[in-house]
Structure 1
Amino acid sequence: MIFGLMETGFPLFYWGNALMIAIALVLIYLAIAKEMEPLLLVPIGFGMILVNLPLGGMMDYEMMLKAPQAGTVVEVSTQEGKGFDKGGVICKLDSGEVVAPVFGRVDKLNVEQGQHVEKGQVIASILTMEQTDQAVLPSRPVGLLSRIFQFGVMWQILPPLMFLCLGALTDFGPMLANPKTLLLGAAAQFGVYLAFFMALFVGFSLPEAASIGIIGGAEGPTTIYVSSVLAPHIIGATAVACYSYMALVPIIIPPVIRLLTTKKERGIFMKPSMRKVSKLEKILFPLITAIIVILIVPTSAALMGCFMIGNLFKECGVTERLNKTAQTTFVDLITIFLTLAIGASMPAQNFLQSKTLLVLVLGVVSFAAAAGAGVLLAKFMNLFLKEKINPMIGGAGVSAVPMSARVVQVMGQKENPKNFLLMHAMGPNVAGAIGAAIAGGVFIGILG
């Protein structure tokens, strides 16, 4: 008890916590040393560290454990302050055992040996970091980050607000200048549905499979939004997979493009000049898109509505203050809260499961398939087009704005130094963001 040493987290620290901290440090290293999505991976990594330091309480939820039947306590198996695994015995009654439905630790025991308890009486107050179905296992957030996670992510507030900021940062001009590229962004959603069916094949439930499939949309807020609605228990894995693979787009997309195209196809020249898009077109686009898409897929309203109002702030010309705020201060605040909360959703007990590895593998498949589908559709379109399009821009349909478009630009310059594909690739790039939001809405509409 000297200097409170018995109150430290060391007794509850185990190899899983150490491994998760090591993974977090790798993410932070990649963000700082390699500049891979630093605004995302630094707070995610630090959130992972915080939640894997026992007794910190940053991501704790309080849950009342009740007696499943009446009886007399014959043994208290887990004392106050002690940790337990999911299914661990908290106490034994003469009528049976009281087991924990989640992992965690005992905060306060309300019974003692020899005491008679009635069915439904609170046996203990326990603290857990596990996401639960509130209708079955109600809990309340008591930690700083668990409150942010509960009221920001689980209440589906932060992801749509992030979409508002993304709308303010997005220029739909290249897509409007060449509407054919909208089809390439739509084709990229093939990766979403391929991963969905593969996830079902390997044993995931429908809601879990939808949350995994949407990783292929390469939109972090969409992935988080869909997972929070359908499968919150795997939200850490899906979010980290999405953001990590967005950072790895320069590694994932080029091999897929090279596999599906010839050198001649990669060298197809596209005129750098594009049709000038009028201000009226740019103003009408978010208005018309919001109306049509939300009427067709009502459950996409939160994401699509915020995406389009953000873009209207940018294009209308009379809301410069709102646009500037959405592009700077507001997006930074949302990013801090959202990424810290996502990082904190990954305690070792939640993350180190066989399912997590499958999520990461299927996430890669989803990304690669999305890029491949865009490339193949571009090749198919070239069969009918007089003015050919470089099929590499189809690979930018994997949203990850604007990283995938930049990757296509670099590849295009290598194959044909005269090519400047960035603006052409931005068309399917931003179309992919719309497609991902629609796909997420479809999943929620069917399974939510």
Structure 2
Amino acid sequence: MGIFKIEGGIRLKGEITPQGAKNEALQILCAVLLTPEKVTINNIPDIIDINKLITLLGNLGVKIQKNGSDSYTFQADDVNVLYLETEAFKQEGGSLRGSIMIVGPLLARFGRGYIPKPGGDKIGRRRLDTHFEGFINLGAKFRYNREDHFYGVEAPKGLTGTDMLLDEASVTGTANIVMAAVLAKGKTTIYNAACEPYLQQLCKMLNAMGANITGVGSNLLTIEGVQSLGGCEHRILPDMIEIGSWIGLAAMTRSEITIKDVSWDNLGLIPNTFRKLGITLERRGDDIYIPAHEDGYEVKTDIDGSILTISDAPWPGFTPDLLSIVLVVATQARGDILIHQKMFESRLFFVDKLIDMGAKIMLCDPHRAVVMGHDFKSQLKATTMSSPDIRAGISLLIAALSAKGTSTIQNIEQIDRGYERIDERLRAIGANIIRA
């Protein structure tokens, strides 16, 4: 297990470019299974979760060619579906939550798809019902082995389009169902579909491959099934969660940072949510410029003067993946904030580590925390802590970079799952961080 040693309290300065979006890459990579032709994908992040998925695709028989540091060409013209029933696959697929999205493409093209209970962050219950109910609606038969937590769907005669109303606007669930429906017979409509930019990207890529998807960007998707899909070239968007992380880092360390090539039009509420915390953001072309907040940042109250509440919601609401960052940034704000994490009941449990560092936080219940900002009058204190999941891990790293003294973060593999060469990139803008 690796550790980070961080000397905090240092002002940073410079430019940082966000990596390709992890959550988009997980969907896009699975979509290469839908065609025997070559698919080239650019701006793929070099992170643990994505590299695991690429390895899984290779073990399934997908031919993989690395074109550059962030570019790959895939060709799924000789897929070994029997690999799905091996013990090796059960171990491999079970270590990565994104592996669930291979099921839709495999079911659509080969008539069957299997997956062990996926791994991933321990942030609370993460149900898979939406995925499998969608497959069943398309005509697949579902089976589940309770002893080894192994899921299976089969449709040897193919899938048939239908109308469905999803019970939740699940991003991965919508992606999986869309990838299954593009090769189904007839028309499929999906209401209450997720409409995140990354899901829009998937639909645009599938259309470039020959699919017929309309309603992209709305919560009502219409898919006219086609007989086959061809190859294409696709570029992944910059990672909006990493962009939000760098905004939080700049504010907490009172640093002057420019975030390059952020794809502003796909950031939704992220810039304005940080502005509500009092953080100054300036748009410069497609970059975000954040000045050094010498005088701190003051929280804006609601119109009636009540405490500011920041909560997560399906797109275009605020993404749950950034609530941990907002919570950490709030510890040095001027004013109080209520953080309401609606989607996952264990995601706020890392606040005890911030309290140990001197933050004033009251955890009301598993979903809500009140943060009373220090306004930089009391600096966080360095400590030793462990990263429980990707987003809490980066939040603790930001706290450590702003704290007085030298902190140690253990279990940094959790951070590496979602952030590419983060220690190198932070050192490039002046951070004192060592990987050991």
TM-score, with normalisation over the residues of structure 1? 0.25
Higher strand share: 2
- Max radius of gyration: which structure? 1
Q: TM-score, normalised by structure 2?
A: 0.25
